[in-house]
Structure 1
Amino acid sequence: MKTIARILKFAKMKTFAFKCIAIGAALALVASMCVAQLASIQLIDGRQMAQAATASRTSRVTLSAKRGRILDANGTVLAQSVERYTIVANPEAAQEFTPITCNKNNQDYCHQIDGKPVGVTGAAAVGRLLSKELGVSAMELGADLSISGQYVVLKKDVTPQVKRSIDNLNLGGIVWGELSSERIYSDGDLMGSLLGGVNDDGTGVAGIEQMENKVLTGTDGHQTYQRGNYGGEEIPGTMTESVAAKDGSDVHLTINRDVQWYVKKIMKEAKSSYGAAWAIGVVQDVQSGEIVALADSDEIEAGTDAAKMAASRAVSETFEPGSIGKVISASGYLQTGVHKMTDRFTVPNSVTENGQTFKDAFSHGDEHWTLAGILQQSSNNGMVIAGKNYTDEQRYEFLTKFGIGQSTGLDLPGESNGVLTNPSSWDLRTRNTVLFGQGYTVNALQLTNVVATLANKGVRQQQSIIKSVTNSDGKTTEAKHGEATRVVDEQVAADVINAMESVAENYSKFVKVDGYRMAAKSGTAEVAGANGSLSSIISDYSVVIPADNPRFVVTVVMKDPQGSYGGLTAGPVSAQICEFLMQKYEVPVSSPRTDAIPVTW
């Protein structure tokens, strides 16, 4: 029995030992596997995992470049980008948020609303804290913060003051501000569609904003660093790359804000007082070709959807110039030697040429006028009679030399070149109507430069509206402009200006500036109305002041004014602008006129 007992005891001990060995072997195997895995992690995959962890925390953040400013000729800011912030949040962090009740020991990091506990937790609590600062309901904010993910935009274009207030709410890691900018325009509708506007990405899409977009747009920079788990705050010492943003260049215009303001004011008043559909005013410096003011009566604020959708009427509206076009024909007559300004004509009440009958705007008997007198009286009949030896090719040549049917070179978005057809397409009537400003169309800028060319002794300057560009380093570069070209001889220009001064004297009861001589031409043309028939009127007036020492050309164009005739409507309006210019620029008064070319014989 003892032997059997020993055998059983030995067997049990053997079984227990076997189990221990088996368990030990298993544990050794597991330990070996752990050691192997640890070795693999540390020696083989450690670098990759560390790199992956670093990559998950590393962010490349764009540093937005500020868009350049648009300024007037004297440096007054017309458009600029100001510092703004986009307020964003981490919804997942917001949902885990538990506000800390304030006491005397934790004022620097607790949460309260108007001195009272927040009252809720999670996204609702964050919404309540932000509501007053953002001007958005707590319910709406709570909904925005209840979505999945770690990034949501709560509000754009927040001022730095609001951003600082949010920073003081002790919501670091949940809510933060990202730097952005907002384009603002200081003068509302002063330059409206002429300035245009930018889209949501800050890209110019209309007006000067579009025309100069490449210059105004800067180059974004960036920073690369590691962020904390929440909120995106930078982990100190982890910055690996930093490239500063380069702001866009400032664009300086030739526009003088004070003059622009006055012309804009006068255009609005003229539209109202004359019951016109619209009014356009242009002021150009004679010698430089710079546009000092370019305004219309439209009340469109820069930067608005309306400003982005519609081009400035001052550059897009085209019309027949009417009798102002006679100065082009008169210049051609003199330059080609067909006539002198003193040539004498007998002008009847009507003229028939190639089966086409022409009449003046007023009835008269046979009048004895010189070519200067034909301009002074604005006689269509006289221009047709004087043009008998002036060929179609010459008519077209001088219209093109003065810039009709061509771009002004300003490159303003929406600018129309007008229409000037080739002589081969002219019918028997059009070949003569072009002599007195009908049968082709212009914009107000083209018409102004026609008169400015004569005022500038026959030299046509390239008009300009961009004066210079100043980059972010402060370096200023003058804008390049096309070469000036001689259109007519100096004496020809002087004779036409002389006759235009007689025109101005003819209107002196309605259009004058005390102490200053003026050279002018009025125009009135029938144009198509809304029904397509010739039911509307364009009235325009272009004046050189002072006539004896030309400084400015002022052009005013009105559609359907009460009173119709350009000299009686657009004329007095232009005189208001001229008077302002003489005072503002302190232009010396004129010397008496002693060289008037005879207008009758």
Structure 2
Amino acid sequence: MKMPLTIWWKNASEFMKRTVCVAALLAIIASGAVAKLTYVQLIAGKTTAEAATASRTVSTTLSAQRGEITDSNGIVLAQSVERYTIIGDPKAASTFEPTTCTKATEDNCQSIDGKPVGTTGPAAVAKLLAPVLGMNAMELGAMLTGTSQYVVIKKDVVPTVKRSIDKLNLSGVISTELTSDRVYPNGTLMGSLLGGVDDAGTGVAGIEQMENKLLTGTNGYTKYQRGNDGQQIPGTQTESVAAVDGDNVQLTIDRDVQWYVEQALEAGKEKYKADWAVASVQEVSTGKILALADTESEEAGSSSAKLNPSHAVTETFEPGSVGKLITLSGLLQEKQQSMSNKFSVPYSIDVNGQTYHDSETHGTEKWTLAGILQHSSNVGVIMASSKYSLAQRYSYLTKFGIGQSSGIGLPGESDGLLSKDTSWDKRTQNTVLFGQGYATNVLQVSNVAATIANKGVKNQQSIIANVKDENGKEVSTQTSQSTRVIDSSVASQMMNAMESVAEGYQSVAGVSGYRVAAKTGTAEVAGSDGSLTGIVADWVGVLPADNPKYVVTVVLKNPEGTYGGLTAGPIFANIGEFLMQKYEVPTSTPRTGAIPVTW
């Protein structure tokens, strides 16, 4: 007969009671553990494993390289080079203990000149790393002291130094992040024109800003698991997206021509003691800009280059007598005049209560329209334009591109200034005929002459030749847009008369072996006090005149010698001689059929 539990409990010893209680408690704990284990393994196992994996998984950015900028021949003007940012983990450094180098540990040990490091923690890391980075060991040790897990030790470290760091076996304490540095191999060449990038690698000035979207690549990433020491666990890479580098931009600029033009301008500025000088070289048949230069020498990528756009883009001025090219083209196109028409031209003339005169005193001269252009007579142009309406004057100025964007898209480019003909006062109505009363820039002046040289067809100017991706596939190309402004017969007459202009300056602005068609200009501009005390002297020339290839425009501010033909002209000749030699242009044929300039 079994004893009831209550009776047994009353008769049991105290020790027995305690033993039973402990056993019961252990049974409850064991049951709970079994239940928890069953839950973890059978119910929440997947979730727990994923959480553990997630805690070990890191994502590393794969940085894209910014595209290159090259000249027309593929010579690099701007490129991004591989650089690294060195990162430290102070928390990991606090427990770092160097591994003594033996045969068994030679692939993962630390020593200094073959001897043990002699210390632990941040001091040990600093003793190993400081000599490689060229840093002070005590300062580096201080940077690695603390409880944080991320501190930037040094930026823009070159690949050779990064490889030296890898050999220190400091993974888990020291890591590297791939970055890039923008470099400009040619120094001040095209400095402001190229511009620069900010600390984030974004173009903020010049061509870097203009083409930033295409030059900028797309970063990639890779995900993997790492162990307690920070090293990647082999075979744990779960996802990877490759970086896509930015596109490469090729310019129409020829580096050699750009360099020569910059040197010629600097020499001319010094010789004529000018405030500044700008110039452009344009290919007649395409509108491509081969050089766009100024005398403000800025290091490409520098703060100054980012803050100061090229003067060749920003400076505007009255073109002076160069503007007569537009007026005479309009007169011929509207069939109001021909180049052989005869005029008796006095020194001055009164029109609507306004007096106009030529730059130099002379008696009444018997000039043809070609002679008026050759002698750059303001009075003669006004006389020839008696039936040339204000609307027509404005129309041809706009057709030739005055007061409009070049379409190149360079940051800071000024459109110049051309007010509507309905707002012109009595004096401006006539000064616009000879290049005063409106403002233009070197690119607009260049395209006026290029349009005439191109048989009356105005091309869209360009500074970008093409854009290619990292594999060399062309992703963008410039399509040349063209518009006929004047008939080819009109353009031919203009070139004939412009050649007579250039012949008058053969001794100072001639290019040996080549015929030149040109126009000079001189205009008063506002000085520092706001009054008309400044001078702009310019020269635009086409060469060879018998087979137009290039237009060279030179502009000087306040040169000694004043007149464009005597100051800007010689600089043009210097550049022209270089172009003819570089591109091996055949010499000109003798001139025939010159339109008479007198009667």
TM-score, normalising length: structure 1 = 0.95
Match of 1:122 in 2: 121
| Amino acid corresponding to residue 523 of structure 1 in structure 2 | G
My pick for the range that moved more, 432-441 or 150-159, is: 150-159
1:173, distance to aligned residue in structure 2 (A): 1.5
| Amino acid corresponding to residue 421 of structure 1 in structure 2 | S
| Distance across 2 between alignment mates of 1:230 and 1:566 | 73
Match of 2:250 in 1: 252
Contact 2:130 2:140 in 1 (8 A): yes
Return structure 1 stretches of 4+ with deviation > 6 angstroms: none
- 2:183 is paired with a residue of what secondary structure? strand
Alpha-carbon displacement from aligned partner over 1:10-57 (angstroms, at most 9, x marks no partner): 989522211211121122222222222222332333322221111111
1:193, distance to aligned residue in structure 2 (A): 1.4
Match of 1:28 in 2: 27
Alpha-carbon displacement from aligned partner over 1:209-230 (angstroms, at most 9, x marks no partner): 1111122122222212112233
| Distance across 1 between alignment mates of 2:258 and 2:60 | 42
Matched, 1:469 2:472: no
| Distance across 1 between alignment mates of 2:480 and 2:424 | 31
Contact 1:332 1:395 in 2 (8 A): yes
Matched, 1:557 2:555: yes
Instruction: Report 1:481-492 matches (<5 A).
Output: 481-492=479-490
| Distance across 1 between alignment mates of 2:464 and 2:458 | 18
Matched, 1:64 2:63: yes
| Distance across 1 between alignment mates of 2:109 and 2:232 | 23
| Distance across 2 between alignment mates of 1:594 and 1:13 | 141
Instruction: Report 1:18-417 matches (<5 A).
Output: 18-102=17-101, 107-115=106-114, 117-231=116-230, 233-417=231-415
1:191, distance to aligned residue in structure 2 (A): 0.9
Alpha-carbon displacement from aligned partner over 1:189-238 (angstroms, at most 9, x marks no partner): 1111111111222221111111111221222222121122333x321111
| Distance across 1 between alignment mates of 2:457 and 2:488 | 8
Matched, 1:432 2:403: no
Match of 2:530 in 1: 532
Aligned residue among 565, 570, 579 for 1:581: 579
| Distance across 2 between alignment mates of 1:27 and 1:102 | 50
| Amino acid corresponding to residue 155 of structure 1 in structure 2 | K
Aligned residue among 508, 514, 526 for 2:506: 508
| Distance across 1 between alignment mates of 2:374 and 2:188 | 38
My pick for the range that moved more, 66-75 or 575-584, is: 66-75
| Distance across 2 between alignment mates of 1:315 and 1:414 | 7
TM-score, normalising length: structure 2 = 0.95
Matched, 1:16 2:15: yes
| Distance across 1 between alignment mates of 2:228 and 2:314 | 55
| Distance across 2 between alignment mates of 1:190 and 1:170 | 43
Query: Cα 1:531–1:228, aligned 2, differ >3 Å: closer, same or farther?
Result: farther
| Distance across 1 between alignment mates of 2:281 and 2:52 | 65
Query: Once superposed, what is the RMSD of the aligned Cα atoms?
Result: 1.7
Query: Cα 1:273–1:370, aligned 2, differ >3 Å: closer, same or farther?
Result: same
Query: Cα 1:557–1:116, aligned 2, differ >3 Å: closer, same or farther?
Result: farther
| Amino acid corresponding to residue 138 of structure 1 in structure 2 | A
| Amino acid corresponding to residue 336 of structure 2 in structure 1 | V
| Distance across 2 between alignment mates of 1:110 and 1:575 | 69
My pick for the range that moved more, 478-487 or 371-380, is: 478-487
1:79, distance to aligned residue in structure 2 (A): 1.1
Contact 2:456 2:486 in 1 (8 A): yes
Contact 1:90 1:230 in 2 (8 A): no
| Distance across 2 between alignment mates of 1:481 and 1:445 | 19
| Distance across 1 between alignment mates of 2:103 and 2:233 | 30
1:595, distance to aligned residue in structure 2 (A): 1.2
Contact 1:464 1:481 in 2 (8 A): no
| Amino acid corresponding to residue 484 of structure 2 in structure 1 | R
- 2:412 is paired with a residue of what secondary structure? coil
- 2:439 is paired with a residue of what secondary structure? coil
For structure 1, the residue ranges without an aligned partner over 5 or more in a row are: 1-9
Contact 1:469 1:477 in 2 (8 A): yes
How many corresponding residue pairs?
591
My pick for the range that moved more, 526-535 or 128-137, is: 128-137
Alpha-carbon displacement from aligned partner over 1:515-548 (angstroms, at most 9, x marks no partner): 1000010111111122211121111100000001
Contact 1:421 1:440 in 2 (8 A): yes
Match of 1:6 in 2: none
| Distance across 2 between alignment mates of 1:293 and 1:138 | 50
| Amino acid corresponding to residue 599 of structure 1 in structure 2 | V
